[in-house]
Structure 1
Amino acid sequence: MHLKRTIGAALVGLSLSAGAAFAQEITFAVVGPMTGQLANIGDQFRKGAEAAVKDINEKGGVMGRQVKLSVEDDVCDPKQAVSVANRIVANGINFIDGHACSGSSIPASAVYAESGALMMSPASSNPVLTDDAAAKGWPTIMRLYTRDDAQGAFIGPWIAKKYAGKNVVVLHDKSAYGQGVADAVRSTMGAAGLKEILYEGINAGEKDYSALVTKLKELKADVVYFGGYHPEAGLILRQSAEQNFKFQLIMPDSIASPEFWQIAGPAGEGTMFVFPSDPQSKPEAKEAVEKIKAGGFVPEGFTLFSYAVIQAFAQGIERAGSDDPAKVAAALKNGEPIDTVVGKVTFDEKGDLKNASYDINQWSNGKYAPIPQ
């Protein structure tokens, strides 16, 4: 009898000990299009987050707690994004690295805000995300990325100056991201003195854009700015080449992926796009880039921004001395820089990055690199 009580007490002790150890873990979620047409962006999110979590855990975790990562797929679909967000908060996860597409981030942000979770997007650029959050008094909606209006203010005047007197077309894919950035570029380009000859939305997901190409050809378009993603951009270029029609395509940040070239092929030669100043070239990123490449993945596109979001969560928790999301958000916005693989970053009161800088990149022979401005 005494032996049984001793064994029972020991088992209870083990159970309590295991429970205490489990409570010491902290879970972050990473959410993006892990499947579907934009799965390459999801891969970038996941690889960046996984690398950051591994690095943080190897260095002792966050306030002595190991970090777990929950990977979620929203397929860049607004309805699925809301469903995923509800599942994340129901599971008690309070820190979300995501979402990718602005059309997903904006509706999902309401779920996180209402539950008090801290969402920080490493890719969504539509200003509505943080503008609405600020207007509604939601302090836990942030982004570690640039805004469309800032990108527009950078590239719009450049297009107006470089292509003065040319036939410029502005297209978008009708998404919150694509139309948002196209409108920003159209506005700043117009303010700088260049008016587009055509402004039009296309239907994403189609396979035949030959009618659009014919229209561009008839208009003698010299330059096309397209707010959208790589599948449509690649197809439009290929089908233009089939009609022996060449124009200068300029894109936002969505085509910083080898998949663009896989679709466009040689028709993609010379395509330009705007991207925040190359994080892979920053000294702060050197170690992370080497480790990620050693695992067989090139940390292009949003990979290092996703990595940086995880770093921001970790440093915010340390700075706040708490894993309360509101306290962490306040600590991240206190004006002190956070050390990340994309450099030192600071956030304004809305939760946006301060002092973003950009490169104009150009595709050539399957690779892209910044060009002199």
Structure 2
Amino acid sequence: MKREYAYCLPVLALLASTGLARAQDITIAVAGPLTGPVATIGEQIKNGAELAAQAINQSGGVNGRNIKVVLYDDACDPKQAVAIANRIVAEGIKFVNGHACSGSSIPASEVYAEADVLMMSPSSSHPTMTDKAAEQGWTTVMRLYGRDDAQGKFIGPWIKQNYGSKKIAILHDKSAYGKGLADVVKASLNASGVKEVFYEGINAGEKDYTAVVNRLKTQGVEFLYFGGYHTEAGLILRQAGDQNYKFQLMMGDSIATPEFGSVAGRAADGTLFTFPPDARDSEAAKGAIAQFQRINFVPEGFTLFSYATIQALAGGIAKAGSTDPKAVAKTLRSANVDTVLGPVTFDDKGDVKDPKYIINVWKDGKYSRLTQ
């Protein structure tokens, strides 16, 4: 008996310092492109999540329990996203901040839904993600970001009013995000009586878009709407500038990163894009902004959406009084939770209610709200 007790004592001590201690934490997986072409977006998601968890823990945690953030890199690749989703489920994690890219979130959401894991994307905008979840009766698929169809309805009338008489082309990068956004903008414009010169997809990841630029130039395109990411958009603009060819470029929210300016150079100036109102200007984000200043990180783009996602998950857990993902998801559909974006709540599909948009313009390597 004594030998057995002596043997068990260090084991109990080990459990106390590892497994039992970890059981006190509420683990939230953060899944996004930490590497790859859009890694700057992953950096925004990462920093937003980590600092939100830090602030929550310093304020006493959630019902006395700390938030623990664990990072997973999907490189914005659908196959990697599914593999990571399966890994997160296997590790017993019940809450996910992610994924970032729609092409990753849509297939990963199926894995989470079947395992009753609550995923909340801070940036994925393709309607299919929550539409499919609603059709299947999956309640644990959510997003803290506006849908492409809402963004398209906002921007279509604006393009018609300001550029409806110009020669308009629409391109996309064939991704779920890029094509999805281009589709809704095209539909909105066509419904208002504006017809584009042409609508096509390009191959993402290439370094030479001279053929694309030549096509735009030959067709006399004056306004280009591009559904895709900042890397391809920046190259198209730069290579058009090399030919002294200028057109008005407009995009969705993916170019809210300084890397766009680095890729496009001076050609970036004047580029327009839609994005929700900048939360950095709100009183609710004041404390968070101070946190980011201490680490010398500018919380632009999706940073504060990721911060808010952690807050929303934590707030849902606190109000539900439970870490059961279904109970938390149900609570979030009926109760407001406070975030750096202000109070948020979700509809029956799991989409954030009442998303707002503004138009931003790039100039001198940074962007600001368009005033006109």
TM-score range normalised by the length of the shorter chain: over 0.9
AA matched with 1:250: M
Between the aligned partners of 1:21 and 1:262, the Cα distance in structure 2 is 45
Residue identity in the other structure for 2:187: S
Give the aligned partner of residue 91 of structure 1: 91
Identity %: 58
Q: CA offset at residue 164 of structure 1? A: 2.1
Q: Indicate how the Cα distance of structure 1 residues 13 and 238 shifts in structure 2: closer, same or farther if over 3 A, else same.
A: closer
* Corresponding position of 1:275: 275
Distance 1:9 1:126 in 2: 53
Q: Distance in 2 between matches of 1:251 and 1:165?
A: 19
- Superposed CA deviations along residues 306-365 of structure 1, whole A, max 9, x for unmatched, are 01110011111111110000000000001x211001111110000001111111000011
What letter is aligned with 2:69? L
Distance 1:21 1:308 in 2: 26
SS of the aligned residue for 1:339 comes to: coil
> Structure 1's 248 and 318: CA in aligned 2 closer, same or farther, altered over 3 A?
same
List alignment gaps of at least 5 residues for structure 1.
none
3-state SS of paired residue (1:318):
helix
1:1-373 → structure 2 map (5 Å cutoff): 11=10, 14-15=13-14, 17-18=16-17, 19-334=19-334, 336-372=335-371
User: Residue 241 of structure 1 aligns to a residue in which SS?
Assistant: helix
Distance 1:33 1:48 in 2: 14
Cα separation, 2, equivalents of 1:15 and 1:40: 39
| Alpha-carbon offset, residue 134 of structure 1 | 0.3
1:214-234, Cα deviation, whole Å (9 max, x unpaired): 111111111000000001000
* More displaced 10-residue stretch of structure 1: 20-29 or 153-162: 20-29
After superposition, give the CA deviation of every residue in 1:110-158 in whole Å (9 maximum; x if it has no partner): 0000000000000000000000000000000000001000000000110
Deviation at 1:281, TM superposition (A): 1.2
- 3-state SS in 1 of match to 2:69: strand
1:338 aligned counterpart, secondary structure? coil
Shift of 1:190: 1.5
Q: Aligned in 2, Cα 1:16/1:164: closer, same or farther, shift over 3 Å?
A: closer
- CA deviation after TM superposition for structure 1 residue 12, in Å: 6.2
Query: Closer, same or farther in 2 for the Cα pair 1:271/1:12, shift >3 Å?
Result: closer
How far apart are 1:262 and its partner, in Å?
A: 0.3
Change (3 A) 1:151 1:73: same
The 1-side partners of 2:125 and 2:12 are apart by: 50
**SS, match of residue 322 in structure 2:** coil
Distance 2:125 2:97 in 1: 14
Output the amino acid matched with 1:350. Answer: K
Give the ranges of 4+ consecutive aligned residues of structure 1 lying more than 2 Å apart after TM superposition. Answer: 4-22
Q: What secondary structure is seen at the aligned counterpart in 2 of 1:213? A: helix
Give the TM-score of the pair, scaled to structure 1: 0.96
The verdict on how the C-alpha distance between 1:31 and 1:9 changes in structure 2, with shifts beyond 3 A counting, is closer
Aligned AA (2:56):
I
Distance (whole Å) between structure 2 residues aligned to residue 59 and residue 357 of structure 1: 30
Structure 2, unaligned runs of 5 or more = none
Q: Give, in whole Å, the separation in 2 of the partners of 1:12 and 1:218.
A: 74
Q: CA deviation at 1:22?
A: 2.8
Q: TM-score, normalised by structure 2?
A: 0.97
Q: 1:365 to 1:15 in 2, by over 3 A?
A: closer
Give deviations 1:29-57, integer Å, cap 9, x for gaps: 00000001110011000000000010111
- Mapped to 1, the partners of 2:102 and 2:10 lie a distance apart of 50
Deviations 1:50-79 (A, max 9, x none): 000101111111111112111000000000
Deviation at 1:7, TM superposition (A): 5.9
- Structure 2 CA distance for partners of 1:5 and 1:367, relative to 1, 3 Å: same
TM-superposed CA distance for 1:26, in Å, is 1.5
Partner SS, residue 200 of structure 1: strand
User: Between Structure 1 and Structure 2, how many residues are aligned?
Assistant: 371
Please, which moves more after superposition, 136-145 or 288-297? Answer: 288-297
